[in-house]
């Protein structure tokens, strides 16, 4: 619920405020003041992010017989280091690394996060649990709205804007959606307005319901964790369909850079074309 108030501002401050209004991201003076106050109070973003780093990287063998995929470099930094930079840009510094395969090498490399100016906590899968199972393992650490991201994708996304979108829609999970020319290799979103009806997995290009795919980053409310079954599970298959039926799954399309490094070919493309964060 919003409440109308009257405030008095210095003319110079008001002029600076007006320069920030673009009619889209910042619609008017009231919106601008609300956004800037939210930033100061820390109410414009989730407090924690989970990075899923437990995969074996089988498509990168023989390299990943020795080195976990989370240590492969892109332009002088690992993909998780690029993600840390994204989170720090939005003052998200409490990170949870979900690890499994070659966990000790990942822990040795990233440590407690102090060298990056963040705090890293680890949860470790003793056996593969899948994307949802890994989240369930971290459940005791996730009591407020949080971000989940795959650890092998580069992305430049406005997390503040996405967070506001998530809260305005009262979503349990909001999935960041990116556009690709050929969605046939991905989970493709079928939408009704901003609400996701379903993800169609790897459809033929001509049958795809849209060109919007799951970018591998989502914002969650802790209540959604209750939908995760015990044992191995994938949130794409075992959680998202349940949320869609309850009309609590939303999609946030974004136009920033996105690169999947999950195969050698896509990894090479990311190395050549990633332009860094704005």
Q: Kindly report, residue by residue over 33-76, the tens digit of the pLDDT.
A: 666 666 665 567 789 999 999 888 788 888 888 889 999 999 99
Please list the active-site residues.
202
Cβ of 272: how many Cβ atoms within 10 Å?
Answer: 10
On whether the CB atoms of residues 6 and 30 are closer than 8 A, the answer is: no
Alpha helices per DSSP H over the chain: 11-20, 29-41, 63-66, 79-89, 103-110, 130-137, 159-168, 235-238, 240-245, 264-273
For helices 11-20 and 29-41, the axis angle rounded to 10 degrees is: 90
pLDDT digits (tens, 9 = 90+) for 210-267: 888 889 999 999 999 999 988 899 988 899 999 999 999 999 999 889 998 888 999 9
* Stated pTM of the model: 0.84
- Comparing CA positions, the residue from 158, 25, 151, 3 lying closest to residue 83 is 151
């Amino acid at each position: 619920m919003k409440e109308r108030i009257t405030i008095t501002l210095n003319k110079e401050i008001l002029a600076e405020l007006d320069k920030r209004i673009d009619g889209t991201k910042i619609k008017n003076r009231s919106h601008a003041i609300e956004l800037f106050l939210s930033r100061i109070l820390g109410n414009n973003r989730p407090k924690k992010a989970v990075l899923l780093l437990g995969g074996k990287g089988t498509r990168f063998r023989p390299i990943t017989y020795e080195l976990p995929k989370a240590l492969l470099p892109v332009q002088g930094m690992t993909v998780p280091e690029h993600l840390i930079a994204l989170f720090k840009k939005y003052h998200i510094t409490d990170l949870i690394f979900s690890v499994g395969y070659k966990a000790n090498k990942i822990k040795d490399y990233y440590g407690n996060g102090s060298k990056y100016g963040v705090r890293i906590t680890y949860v470790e899968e003793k056996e593969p649990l899948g994307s949802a199972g890994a989240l369930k393992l971290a459940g005791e650490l996730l009591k407020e709205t949080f971000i989940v991201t795959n650890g092998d994708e580069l992305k430049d996304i406005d997390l503040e804007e996405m967070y506001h979108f998530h809260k305005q829609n009262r979503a349990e999970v909001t999935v960041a959606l990116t556009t690709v020319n050929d969605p046939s290799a991905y989970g493709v979103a079928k939408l009704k307005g901003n609400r996701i009806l379903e993800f169609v997995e790897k459809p033929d290009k001509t049958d795809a319901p849209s060109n919007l795919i799951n970018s591998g980053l989502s914002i969650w409310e802790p209540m959604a964790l209750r939908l995760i079954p015990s044992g191995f599970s994938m949130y794409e298959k075992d959680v998202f369909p349940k949320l869609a039926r309850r009309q609590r799954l939303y999609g946030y399309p974004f136009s920033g850079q996105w690169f999947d490094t999950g195969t050698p070919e896509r990894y090479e493309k990311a190395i050549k074309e990633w332009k860094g964060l704005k």
